[in-house]
Structures are given as C-alpha cells and as structure tokens.
Structure 1
Amino acid sequence: MIQAPKSNELFLRAQNSIPGGVNSPVRAFRAVGGNPRFMVSAKGPYMYDEDGNRYMDLINSWGPMILGHAADVVNEAVKKAIPNSLSFGAPTRKEIEIAELIVSMVPSIEKVRMVNSGTEATMSAIRVARGYTGRDKIIKFEGCYHGHGDSFLIAAGSGAITLGVPDSPGVTKGTANDTLTAPYNNLKAVQTLVEANKGQVAAIILEPVAGNMGLVTPADGFLQGLRDLCDKEGIVLIFDEVMTGFRLSPGGAQQLYGVTPDLSTLGKIIGGGMPVGAYGGKKEIMDYVAPAGPVYQAGTLSGNPIAMSAGMAMLTYLNDHPEVYTQLEQTTLKMVEGMQANMQKLGLNFTINRIGSMFSIFFTDQPVYDFESAKNSDTAFFGRYFNAMLQRGIYLAPSQYEALFVSTAISEELVAQYIQANYESLQQALQA
C-alpha cells in the first residue's frame, strides 16, 4: 500500500497560499477523490514523489515527454544553453533554426511565431484570423479545450444556431456573443451555424483529434468537410495541435489525416518540456502579425533561448528518427489490447479510443464520438479505478476527460506490468 503523508501535508500547506492548492485545476484530484501527489523528480518512464514512491507515468506532462522524462538529448541541449544566459529579450539564431524546422515538418505552416504556451498560441491565432478576415465570430466545438482564453470558455447554447453563454465567471456576454458552439464530429451542425451567420464567421477552431473530453477521433470526412466549408465561405480553419503536433506523426494530425488547415497552434512537444507554444500557417495570414502587419502580439519571453534549445533538440530527434512513431504505435497497441482482454474477462462495459500513442478508457458500452457521448461514461467507477492504479504505482490522468500519453521509455516489460496492474485495479474497483 503506497502511503503519501508528505504529499498530504504539502497539499494542506499549499491551500493557504495557492488557490485550491494547485496551479492548474485538474491537479487537485477532485474528479477522482483523494489528494494529489507532489513530485520531486522523474526519469524515463517514472516519476518520484515527496514520499519516495515511484510511478509509471502515463501523463508525461500532458504529452510533451514523448521520449520519457529527462531525455538525454534534451537535457544536454539545455545544459549547453544555460551558461549563455536564461533570457535575452532579443533575437537569436536558434529562433530562426527552429522556425525553419517547424516549417519543414508541419504541412500547413509557411511562417510561425513563437509564444510561451498553448493558450497564448490559440488566443493569438483567433486574433489573427479576425484581423485577416475582418469578421468577429468564431466556431468552436463542445469538449475541445483551447486554453483558458475568454473566447474558449463558452458553453453551448440551447440549439444548433443559438449563441454560446459564458462558462466561467469573468467571461463577458459580449465575448460569448461572438463564440458559436457545435458538437464535435457533427458537420451538419457547423453548416447550420455558418448559414445562420453568413459572412460573419472568421474562424473555425478545433482539435483535429480531441484530447480533452477523453480521446475522441474525427469521423470519416469530418475534417475534410470542414476544410471544404471554410474554402467555400472564406473562413480560416485552425487546427489546435498543441497535443497532437509532433506526437501522432512528425507533421501532426494534419499530416496523418491529409487535411491542411490555414493556421495551426502548437505546444507541448515543441518545447521538449519547457513552457513553449507557437502558431503558424499560410504566409498571407501570418504576414498580418506585427511588425509585418497590423495585428498586434508580443511577449518578452517568446523565443526564450533555453526553451528554443530544448525544442530544437526534441524536434530534430523526432525528425531524424521516424521509427519513434512505429515504436509508440506498437507499444500503445499492446497496452490497449491487454486492457481490452482484461475488461472482457471481467465482463465490464467499456470503450477504448486510441490513435497512435494517445488513448482513453471510457466505462460505457456505447461508442464515444463527441462530448455528450463521453459523458455516458461511469465516472464514479473511473475514480475507483484511478485510485487503485495509483496504489499500484501507475500514474494516470486524474480525470475521465483527459487523454493518456505513452512514451518511448515504456518497455515491453513495463507493458506487461501495466496490463497486470490494470486487471488487478479493475477487480478492486468492481469490489468497492
């Protein structure tokens, strides 16, 4: 039985000085019960907490640790960069090199601007789309998460052509009036929204593979249907590839599915674990960004030399070693097949969605293709399962509605350990 008294003590202490005791809400474990573990180090497939407990990590910092924690290739690049200063606030050669590499890897990107987070990237992409088109409204999808910018914290209205409503205090009704919301994988609903707001929609933004309602993949023809609609109506199509960029393929989901957006947002892997984001796309759109154009966006730490060094090392490695994606595919498939066998043996209702090295378990016998169908999952059972896995040293996302990420550090031996822990944890959750 894993005990964590130091983590429990730290969580109580943290609540006195940090809202909710954490710096990002899902870390508080409220969706699964219990208290969060406070980590001190990580290497390869493992994280270690304040109490010395070891966990096989299936979050990998929510995606960027595709080579496992503290990958030597990234660490060495950071060590080499640190003595030259942590920040300049001035241009560097490394910014050009990583921009050129991104342009060469991602199909949609002809020019790219570096920022500090995925949220900055999506906020900026929307602003540029509005500036480029001269229109105000955007369409987003239920269950897709694009960071905590005001435009994205909007819940769906009561019908296909109704405006959104603020989903968080602090988001104005005026912002909500410019945000339209459609169900994921429902092309007809998008067409209805566009028709009802003719000539007013600046952009359609989505995760081409959704990772924030659990993993949900696009239906056949959905992405191409959006591409065709945007071409017809002069709308900027934005793929939020903060999660999927460089994880599903060297060129992200857009390369995998063969659908090219007008703009793409990136994060996670692009920084090799450092806080980095980026947005980029067609030259004629990106040339609207200051100082080339009138749409203003700036950041003191954008293109930070340490972050650029980490990202350059990571992207170069992935670009030079395409076998990484074959290994990840095989490893993740073995894990999923093992879990499927376990759940069938135990007579559980389940759906597992997977693409490449991302997957989610939903405890429902219905297919999961959008946010409404994801909500059919038995979240109480998931909470029991999560805590049973945690007790066996497996660190999963502390929410039903988050994707899991596999790294190349997961060996065949660890796959076998994971499948065994999965079986025992499911048994324990059934008995609780």
Structure 2
Amino acid sequence: MDALGITTVAAAGAALALLGAKARQRLALSRAKHPSLTGHVRMARRIAAQLPFYEYGEAEFVRVDGAPDDVAARRSRGFARLSALYRERYATTRAETEAAKAGISDLQFTGRYRVPFQFSRIVREHLSAGSFLQSASGVQVTDLDGNRFYDLTGSYGVNLLGTDAYKACIAEGAGTVEALGPVLGALHPVVADNVRRLRALSGLDEVSFHMSGTEAVMQAVRLAQYQTGRRRLVRFCGAYHGWWGDVQPGIGNPRPANDTLTLADMSERTLTVLARRRDIACVLVNPIQAMHPNAGAPSDGSLVDSGRHAAFDRGAYAAWLKRLREVCTANGIVLIFDEVFVGFRLAPGGAQEYFGVRADLVTYGKTLGGGLPIGVLCGRHALMRRFRDDRPGDICFARGTFNAHPYVMGAMNAFLRRLDTPEVTELYADLDARWNARAAEVNRRLEAEGLPVRVVNMSSIWTVLYTRPARFNWLLQYYLRLEGLALSWVGTGRLIFSLNYTDADVAAVTDRFVAGVRAMEADGWWAGPATSNRTIRRGVLREMLAVRWRGLRGRTSPAGNRAEPEAVPGE
C-alpha cells in the first residue's frame, strides 16, 4: 500500500474512532437521563404541545371515574354545598379578584392551573375564594370578607420567622437607611455588615447582590462558564431554578436550551457522565429535591390520580451530595447550591450546614431580604471574579439598577441580626425532631380514622400524599380552605409553615386538616370504583386520544368550546 493509501486508512480509522467515542458519550448521556418525561425535557415539551383541550360538563364531572348513581348523587350534593359556602363566605374577596383579573396576567394563569384542566372552568366558576388579603398577624391571614386562615403558603418560602417578624425587619431596615433613602449605585454602610454576616453563614469568600433569586442563579451559572471556559450546565430532573431559559429547558420555555443537560438525580450513571465529559461548567442542586428526587414540584394542577409520591431521607441525600462534591472537585466542575427556596429554613447555615457538604457557589433569595425582594450569590474568590488582570477586555458583566437597594439592605440586616437572637436560636433547636413529630401526629390522626391521606415532611415543608387511587384529590384544597387553612396556588403539593408556629397552632391546623379530609370523604370523592393509578392514567390518555385523533366534536356553550367524550371510562 502506498503512502496515500496508508494515510487514507489512518484517517478513516481516526474518524471511526472519533465517531465511536461520540457514540459512547451520547449513549452514556442517554443512560444518565431519568426514564420519565421529566427527564426528557424536549420530548415532554413536544408532547405537551399536542395535548388537546377538553373539559367535563357540570353534570358529568362527578362521574368521570365511573361512579355509581348513589356516589354521584353524594358528590353533586357536596359540590353544591361547597359552591354555596364559597359564594357566601368569600363574596367580597371573590368580586375584587374577578374585577382585577383581566388586568393581571398572573391571576389568569394561576386561576386556570390550580386543578387539572378538564375541571378548571367549573372550579373557577364555583369555588373561587379570591386572591386578596387585607392583613396578617401571628400565623394567620385575613381576607377582605374578614375570614381568618392559618397561613400554610409560607409566601412561597419567604416566610421563615413569621409575618410579624418581617414587618419588624422592614420597619427597622427602613429606619436604618432613611437618611440615605432610595439613592442607587452607591452603597449604604449597612451593606458591609451584611457581607460580613453572609460570609460567615455561607463559609464563602465573596458576595454579590441581585434583584431576585432567578438573577442570582443566572449570575452563578454565567460565572461558572466564564471561569471554566466550558459551556454546559447540568440540572437535575424535576428541579426548579427560576424561570429563565437555560435552567427551564422543558415545558414553559418557548426557546431551546442547547447547553443544558438534564440528568437523573441520585444516579451512578450521572456521576459517570460528570467524570468523563470535559465540557461541563457547573452542576445545579436545589436541595428541596431531596423530598422528591427526579420529580417536579408537586402541584394539584397535575394531580390526575394518586400517583404523587415523596419521601425524605436526609442521610441518603447527604451521601449523594458528598459523592457529587467529590466528582465535581476531581473534574473541575463548579458545584452550585440553589438555596433560593429552602434558604435558611433547614439550618442557620442553610443546606450546606444541614447536609454537611460545601458548594463552590450558593444562591439565596426570598427569606434573606427580610420581607423585601432580593437575590444573593456567595462564592469562592476565584469564581466570583468578573475580569482578568491580563486581558482587560475579557469580562463577565452583571449589573442591576436595584442591586443592593438601601431599603432592601436595611431589611436584610435586620433579618440577619435576628438570626443571632436567643429567640430564633431556640426555633432552630431540635428543628427536625419537632416538625417530624408534628407531621407524625397528623398521620396518626388520619390513619386512625381510615382516611386516604398522609403527609410527608422535610422539616417545616410538607407535601400531601393520597393512598387511594382517585380522580378528585385536587379538591382537598377547597375543603381545607373552608376549614380555615390558606394554601398557595399549587394546593396540597406544598404546605410551608413558618417557624413561629407553636404546638397549639399546629394542633389547631391538625384538627382543621383532618376535618377537611373527613368532609371530603363524606361527600364521596374517594368512593369511586376500585381501580389503580395506572388505570386512571390510561383512561385520561384515551380521552385525550379521542379528542386529538378521532375528531370528537364539542358542543358550543356560553363558556366556550367544550369537547366532551361520548363515554367516560369507568375502569
């Protein structure tokens, strides 16, 4: 063989070797994805885009699980009673919400997605309690009609110490910075104390301030890419890191996120990918995923059956984080803890202290602002640097007009100082044991009465599980509202207690919670035919296929177009 032939063969061999290496890398990446749709975000988005709209009629929706006549009649009477009570108790709050909704896009969105879409219109018409509140005190809030509720929303994670504490932080902070006022760009002296305290809490070298948790995560990822020279970021299946495109590559993001890898949480195959690839800049961890690894945030809007599951094993998740830390260190990957949601809820030093693992960058938000909006990034000096001494034009730019706003910095300082008080130190004492015992008591009460509901908790964050396959679990949030429990728009997926709940407060919540479950049981919503979650899901899928591909025609009503299945599955 001549030289040309030898060169050609060698080139072909090298090309085949390269293709083989890429194929192996691609296979390893595919195996490191979670097998669910949540783990395959592009496929999930394609499928979601094809879901057809249809909804149940008012007489029919009580029978969608094939319930017999007597059960359907119980449900109809129960729903009519709920509807009448909602109209009576929440009239002013409801009217104010309806008047404002046309101009507030968020209300339009949350109103539609509180329950599975097939039931949404009926629920909006009959069970709206409104979205306005007039006051908050202790662990309770009051609506425009004067109804008082125990607050289980936690203000989406903000409310750690209780609303009274945050009112005091805001007032104290405003007084601290009053002489300077809203002068932006320059720093109020209180910032220096905030930085000192944040460095001590995080164990990291430097701090940057942002306007939201989403912005803090954006900056963390950008700095990791800048300092490593790599473009890929890894997020774990189901985890939420804000609404910006790169960390929300699936449903809800209209743009592709080509640099984002979504891998399985707590997976050996994921560790293998991290160890072998050389293009990964950072790994994002949201510690709340310890409750439900590889699943999205639980919401009643997606609760079509009783398939929601959650469990918390602190030791197992800590062991996973330690292994993840080792792999990231060995391969020059930046480990980022996104503590915007859990913040200082688990321990004064956050998830790093709680799980015993140190991150390279940590983001905070919500709680830290003392009741005002904030995003904070803490990190190692080598990663936080936004410029290079030897290349003055090579920078990693990030600024914001309202970064380190004096009033926010003042409220933050008041909050950080409170963390050092004996009263707050006492709240952290035996934190897990106290909240585990409270959740266990709720489960004991529910089990004693034979009710098909249980709770799982990660400290003061709870989620509700359903032990009997059913189509109507999403209704529980409306029974709980009538018992004086306020939940966020995701319903029973997240119950977030502030740490100032006393034993007496939790006992009152427990009584009301059990009463709400009992009332829902009495109205027959869990009395459908014996079935399974798989059967329910298959039935819903058949409905969708019928509407999408068999061209079922819906009737037109004043409420809009409604496609109703000719026969509702009753398996």
TM-score, normalisation: structure 2: 0.65
The Cα of 1:13 is off from its aligned counterpart by 2.0
Runs of 4+ with deviation above 6 angstroms: 289-293
Residues 366-385 of structure 1 aligned to structure 2 (within 5 Å):
380-381=472-473, 383-385=474-476
CA contact (8 A) 2:202 2:378 kept: no
CA contact (8 A) 1:137 1:178 kept: yes
1:262 is aligned to 360
Is 1:307 equivalent to 2:408 in the alignment?
Answer: yes
Instruction: Determine which of 116, 126, 132 is the counterpart of 2:221.
Output: 126
1:61 is aligned to 155
The Cα of 1:393 is off from its aligned counterpart by 1.0
CA contact (8 A) 1:118 1:277 kept: yes
Instruction: Determine which of 288, 293, 305 is the counterpart of 1:209.
Output: 288
How far apart, CA to CA, are the structure 1 residues paired with 2:493 and 2:195? Answer: 30
How far apart, CA to CA, are the structure 2 residues paired with 1:253 and 1:317? Answer: 19
Q: Which has the higher helix share?
A: 2
1:39 is aligned to 133
Q: Output one character per residue of 1:193-216: Cα deviation in whole Å (capped at 9) or x when no partner.
A: 4357x1011111011232762476
- 1:354 aligned counterpart, secondary structure: strand
Q: Which amino acid in the other structure matches residue 282 of structure 2?
A: A
Instruction: Determine which of 261, 265, 268 is the counterpart of 1:188.
Output: 268
How far apart, CA to CA, are the structure 2 residues paired with 1:30 and 1:98? Answer: 38
CA contact (8 A) 2:187 2:406 kept: no
CA contact (8 A) 1:73 1:314 kept: no
How far apart, CA to CA, are the structure 1 residues paired with 2:465 and 2:332? Answer: 37
CA contact (8 A) 2:170 2:370 kept: no
The Cα of 1:287 is off from its aligned counterpart by 1.6
The Cα of 1:347 is off from its aligned counterpart by 2.9
Q: Structure 1's 94 and 402: CA in aligned 2 closer, same or farther, altered over 3 A?
A: farther
The Cα of 1:414 is off from its aligned counterpart by 1.5
Mind listing any 5+ residue stretches in structure 2 that lack a counterpart? 1-84, 117-122, 299-309, 524-571
- 2:164 aligned counterpart, secondary structure: coil
Q: Structure 1's 118 and 290: CA in aligned 2 closer, same or farther, altered over 3 A?
A: farther
Q: Which amino acid in the other structure matches residue 144 of structure 1?
A: A
CA contact (8 A) 1:334 1:415 kept: no
Q: Which amino acid in the other structure matches residue 200 of structure 1?
A: D
Q: Structure 1's 406 and 30: CA in aligned 2 closer, same or farther, altered over 3 A?
A: closer
Instruction: Determine which of 447, 455, 466 is the counterpart of 1:363.
Output: 466
The Cα of 1:125 is off from its aligned counterpart by 0.6
CA contact (8 A) 2:483 2:513 kept: no
The Cα of 1:395 is off from its aligned counterpart by 1.1
Q: Structure 1's 380 and 231: CA in aligned 2 closer, same or farther, altered over 3 A?
A: farther
Q: Output one character per residue of 1:165-203: Cα deviation in whole Å (capped at 9) or x when no partner.
A: xx23432x2xx221111233x32242244357x101111
How far apart, CA to CA, are the structure 2 residues paired with 1:122 and 1:314? Answer: 22
Is 1:280 equivalent to 2:356 in the alignment?
Answer: no
How far apart, CA to CA, are the structure 2 residues paired with 1:282 and 1:82? Answer: 29
CA contact (8 A) 2:153 2:486 kept: yes
Q: Which amino acid in the other structure matches residue 320 of structure 1?
A: T
Residues 80-159 of structure 1 aligned to structure 2 (within 5 Å):
80-81=175-176, 83-84=178-179, 85-107=181-203, 109-155=204-250
TM-score, normalisation: structure 1: 0.85
Is 1:14 equivalent to 2:94 in the alignment?
Answer: no
Q: Structure 1's 236 and 110: CA in aligned 2 closer, same or farther, altered over 3 A?
A: same
CA contact (8 A) 2:157 2:496 kept: yes
The Cα of 1:250 is off from its aligned counterpart by 0.7
Q: Output one character per residue of 1:398-426: Cα deviation in whole Å (capped at 9) or x when no partner.
A: 32574332223322221211111111111
The Cα of 1:121 is off from its aligned counterpart by 0.8
CA contact (8 A) 1:4 1:37 kept: no
CA contact (8 A) 1:358 1:404 kept: yes
Q: Structure 1's 284 and 379: CA in aligned 2 closer, same or farther, altered over 3 A?
A: farther
- 1:409 aligned counterpart, secondary structure: coil
1:412 is aligned to 503
Q: Which moved more, 1:250-259 or 1:61-70?
A: 61-70
How far apart, CA to CA, are the structure 2 residues paired with 1:401 and 1:394? Answer: 11
How far apart, CA to CA, are the structure 1 residues paired with 2:470 and 2:325? Answer: 35
- 1:62 aligned counterpart, secondary structure: helix
How far apart, CA to CA, are the structure 2 residues paired with 1:27 and 1:82? Answer: 39
Q: Which moved more, 1:393-402 or 1:298-307?
A: 393-402
Q: Which amino acid in the other structure matches residue 80 of structure 1?
A: G
CA contact (8 A) 2:245 2:253 kept: no
Q: Structure 1's 48 and 97: CA in aligned 2 closer, same or farther, altered over 3 A?
A: same
- 2:288 aligned counterpart, secondary structure: coil
How far apart, CA to CA, are the structure 2 residues paired with 1:315 and 1:77? Answer: 12
Is 1:168 equivalent to 2:257 in the alignment?
Answer: no
Q: Which moved more, 1:142-151 or 1:56-65?
A: 56-65
The Cα of 1:334 is off from its aligned counterpart by 4.1
